[in-house]
Amino acid sequence: MPEMHAAREALTHLLVELHDVDDSVVRGEKKLGEQTYAVAYVDFADEVVERSLHLRNFQERILADDFFDSPGDLRWNKYLYIIAGPNSRKNPQFSAAKAIIEADKDYARKRVISEADLESLLGGAKLFETAECGDAYDVLSDWRQRLAAGQLELLLDCVTPRTGVVEKIAQRRAGVAPDERQRGKELHAADVPLSASKLLSLEVAQFRPVHDGKSYSFGDVTLIVGANGTGKTSLLEAIEHFYCGNTRRSKSVGLVRLKGKLLPTSGGSTIELRSTSDGPRIKSRCLAWYNRKEHSVDAIVDSFSLYNFLDTDAAYRLSANLKPADVTAELSRLLVGSSAATTFDYLEKIRADVDKAWDKTQRRASELQAELAVFEKRLKELQSKPSTAKTLTDAYRSALAAIAWKRRSEADAPMSKEGQELLAALSLVQALTSLGPAARSLKDIEHRFTQLEAAVGRAKPLDAQLAGLTNQEKGLVTKIEQLDANISHLDRWIAYETAGFHDVRKRYQSARRVSEQLATRLGGMIAGDLPQIPPQYASLPLQDALRAAVEASTAAELRFTRAKQALDLHGRAASARATTAAKLKDAAKEALKSSENPDMCPVCRTVHASGALMHLIEELTSGSETSLEVQSLAESLRLAEQEANEARRSAAGVEFYQKNAALLELKGSTPKEALEELVGLRERASQAQLELQRITREGQDLRNAGFSSNEADLVWSRIVGLFEPDLHSLTVDVASAERLRQSDALEEARKTLDECRRNIDTLTQAISSVSRAMDVDGWVTQIPHIGSFASLVALQDEFTAVAKNSEDLRAYLEVGNEVPLAEVQARIAAVASAFKQADEASRSDSEISTEQRNLPSKIESYKRDLGKARSEETALHEAGKILDDLLENASLENATREALDAIGAQINEVFSRIHSPQEYEYVGSPDVLLQTADSHEARSLAQVSTGQRAAFALSIFLARNRTATSAPPVLLIDDPIAHIDDLNSLSFLDYLRDLAVNSGRQIFFATADTRVASLFSKKFSFMGESFKTINLVREPKLEVASPQG
């Protein structure tokens, strides 16, 4: 067929060393220099269904020998492409046959394809040429241009709180001054090689602890392997920071010091370059590499993640189980960048905030407008109102002159002090009139004052005499009470003495003292049995008796010990004899058993009566002499023990009397004498105790009769001062004589008290007469008339306190002595009323004047506030229109569509390579993103599998990278296939391999999956020194011991 022939001819520029290995089957290789890295078999037979039926035999014939002859890694890089032409496709079993073939994993990866797919799958060099996209649509630049037209550039700074941004929009301060707008700057000379060089090594002086102080060498392809937490991503981010001066994941990492070594792709010497965070340099890189003028320094990392560093998080989110709306959002985030997606979300929220602020500002403006109208109306009313203050003030001044007021003011308007003085004068008049109806004028008050003063003068000497007599009366009363008490106490003491209480008390104290002394001396020996003294020691001196008793006790103990030892010795001898007898008995019995005559002794050969010999043998162990000897020894031991115990008791008794003779200071020198003296002391102690008990019973009888020691001591303390200090013994006669003397003194004191009280009554009547003379009708008082001098003085003080107001009243105005106080009160009240009217009128005029002065400035202030509110209302309305236009005509959805249109061809090329099986085709039209390969039914990303979405996400990134013509030729990929299936993983690695061979890009691939790492090594090991592997491991934490202090 012509199509097959053309496809076969096309292989000549895709594979080398082409040759036929079977009918319609061609074998070719892919090489890098002289190194083969892939082998492809292409079947042009157009017999897909037939191949599926005999697939095993076909592979054995075509692939088996070559497979086992290939080096190890090359076995992982063999591919069988079966071309499906018209003949195969029209077979109804084609789809099933295709699935069977592509699912088989023996010998080589298998794909059933059309002849048109050959070049794409075999990775022709032209597929990896840099794609020129012209001026790609940059949604951030579009937004900046639209917002700049309304001075709203600050809205692109998402970190600014929205409330603050809305305030600045209202104040028209959300823009950037013309001289501050972003200007393009030439790329720094040191940065020029970055976009045309490969990174040979990176020295990390300071970045993150896991890599600080280390240096890493890189190849054209570098595999970074390590478990989670060993720093894979951090190493990729160190490379990102080297290029961008920052990282996407962490915008602030502190001080960073990196140094990279670059090798230009065009050849030449290596170049060393240190990392920088200089803002202008970073912005220049962003403009030169990605043609983006950024306001923020760290915005370059967003472009770097779009074109050079796969945003694995975004790719993973796109491949996860999401709702359709979420899939669309994540696709936009992947295509236009997380920064743009975040900014658009921020703009949508700002739009709602602007509406709320506009509504609030509009309501505020309406309120200000209404309040302004009220103030303007009030000002017109005040300007047309007349004044009555001057007329009332003149009338008030005339009234003051009429009452001869002494404190007139020269001020035009009434002063508050004047009103206070008028009220003070009025209160003084009212106080004077409160003295009663008799207080008609100041003359009456002065006359009453003179009367009270004279009465107090007459009563004062009488009160002095009365005070002296009162003090005398108090002294006499106190003396009588003391004499009565003395007589009573003397009577009680005589009763105690007559009852014999004092004698019993003395005898009790003496008996108790003797009893306590004997009890203290005897201690524990006051009762109980005393040790008996053997006669042989009774008359010996105490020391000799003790020595003899101890010696006798020692001798008895010795005899007891010897008797015990004799019994023990006899027991051991008897035991030995019994043992020997038992052995002799056993030996005799054994001899008799072997003897022919059981009655013949085996020792002496004597013949005994029948049974007699056996009886004698039994008696060898049952002798009676042993029992008698033991009984004798046991009796001797008992007697020796009894004697030893008796000797010990005798020695203890003698020792008891010897020790206590010294302790109790006994006079006896022998044990017998000490015993007799000790018995005598015990008898004396017993007698003393009996005497104490007898006296105690007498004391109890006295207590029952009402006598007590406490009362006796109290009575004595009260009468002891009545007698001479040297009196040793008070008798009943002496006490009775003193009682008679006290009784005579009492009678004399009572007579004197009666005379004193008669004189007090006379003086009291005289003072009462003077006081009653001052009780005159017509004068009001709060002091009761009780006829005492104190009430008279209080009446004078009360009247004087009020009467002195007349002097204060005359300080305010002229008042005649005979002018009625009621008339004065009425005149002052009238003037006070006139003052009140004049003051109120003046105040009203003053308030109106003040309000009239203040209103123009307040109206002007409200006009300014209203103008500001209207300006903010307009600014917010205009900002809302700009944001509406942006959200409608430059939405994230439109930006996503623009991005897809710009790189659609590249996405299609990559997607067709790396997704397997090829169930879908990329369309990229406005209505259809993907379609099924067979039926061409439209599919959105939400309708395809997570693995297919993951492949699509990788396709977007790789397509973007191909369009980055001015960016550094690097790809940083962090675990991109950890969440996709094996077939798509292999397809992706195949694509990366062709990309590395044909595009000249430098690839950094990090993974924690050792299986993926092993597969990656098998795919790229053919590159030799250009392929490097960095194995990262966790370093053990060293615990530094604290210094010993």
**Do 589 and 665 belong to one domain?**
yes
pLDDT of residue 124: 63
Q: Do residue 323 and residue 378 come from a single domain?
A: no
User: Three-class SS of residue 220?
Assistant: coil
681, 774: one domain: no
CA distance 699 to 55: 139
Report how far residue 876's alpha carbon sits from residue 453's, in angstroms, rounded to the nearest whole number.
91
CATH number of 987's domain: 3.40.50.300
- Asked whether residue 783 falls in the same domain as residue 898, the answer is no
| Residue of 405, 340, 298 whose CA lies nearest to 139 | 340
Measured distance CA(846)–CA(569) in Å, rounded: 143
State the pLDDT at residue 471.
92
| Domain-located, residue 414 | no
**What is the distance between the alpha carbons of residues 346 and 160, in angstroms, rounded to a whole number?**
10
Whether residue 769 sits in one domain with residue 855: no
Sheet holding 78-83, edge to edge: 16-22, 25-32, 35-43, 78-83, 109-113
Q: Same structural domain for residues 340 and 454?
A: no
Helices (H) and strands (E) in the chain, counts: 33, 16
Tell whether 202 and 341 lie within a shared domain.
Answer: yes
Query: In the prediction, which pLDDT does 213 show?
Result: 93
Q: For residue 761, is it within any domain?
A: yes
What pLDDT digit, counting tens, does each position of 835-853 carry?
787 777 777 666 666 766 7
pLDDT, residue 954, reads 76
Structural domains in the chain (count): 5
Is there a contact between 978 and 1007 (Cβ–Cβ < 8 Å)?
A: yes
pLDDT averaged over 10-residue windows placed end to end, the chain, 1045 residues:
64 83 87 86 89 87 78 80 89 90 85 81 64 62 82 74 82 69 72 92 93 94 93 92 86 81 90 91 87 73 84 62 63 73 83 89 88 78 64 76 76 74 82 80 80 83 86 89 88 85 83 81 74 79 79 83 82 72 74 75 74 72 60 79 81 77 76 76 81 84 87 86 78 85 88 87 84 80 80 80 78 80 81 78 68 76 85 88 87 77 70 66 64 70 68 76 86 78 75 84 92 89 92 70 42
- Residue 621 and residue 473 share a domain: no
* pLDDT tens, position by position, 312-332: 666 666 555 556 666 666 777
In a domain, 404, yes or no: no
**Are 894 and 935 in the same domain?**
yes
Whether residues 145 and 173 fall in one domain = yes
Name the residue range of residue 648's domain.
Answer: 515-694
| Whole-number pLDDT of residue 269 | 92
114 vs 623: CA distance, rounded Å: 132
Q: What does the buried/exposed string (b/e) look like for 507-533 if buried means 16 or more CB atoms within 10 Å of the residue's CB? A: bbeebbebbeebeeebeebeeeeeeeb
User: Cα separation of 959 and 939, whole Å?
Assistant: 21
**CA separation for the pair 272, 1036 (Å, rounded):** 32
With b for 16 or more beta-carbon neighbours within 10 A and e for fewer, the 332-344 pattern comes to bbbbbbbbbbebb
The domain boundary residue, chosen from 763, 791, 817? 817
Q: Would you say residue 504 lies in a domain?
A: no
Domain termination residue (choose one: 122, 151, 173): 122
Q: Give domain status of residue 705, yes or no.
A: no
CA 775/CA 768 separation, integer angstroms: 11
Based on the domain organization, do 251 and 311 belong to the same domain? yes
- Flag whether 40 is in a domain: yes
Q: Using the 3D structure, point to which of 767, 793, 817 is the last residue of a domain.
A: 817
* 220 lies in some domain: yes
Instruction: Give the largest Cα separation in the chain, rounded.
Output: 187
Phi, psi of 27 (to 5 degrees): -115, 135
Whether 878 and 754 share a structural domain: no
* Beta strand residue intervals within 819-880, DSSP E: none
d(C-alpha 969, C-alpha 264), whole Å: 11
Quick check: is 134 in a domain? Answer: no
What is the helix (H) or strand (E) element at residue 208, kind and residue range? none
Which element (helix H / strand E) includes 70?
A: none
pLDDT at residue 1042 in the model: 44
- Smallest CA-to-CA distance from 978 within 1015, 1003, 1028, 1030 is with 1015
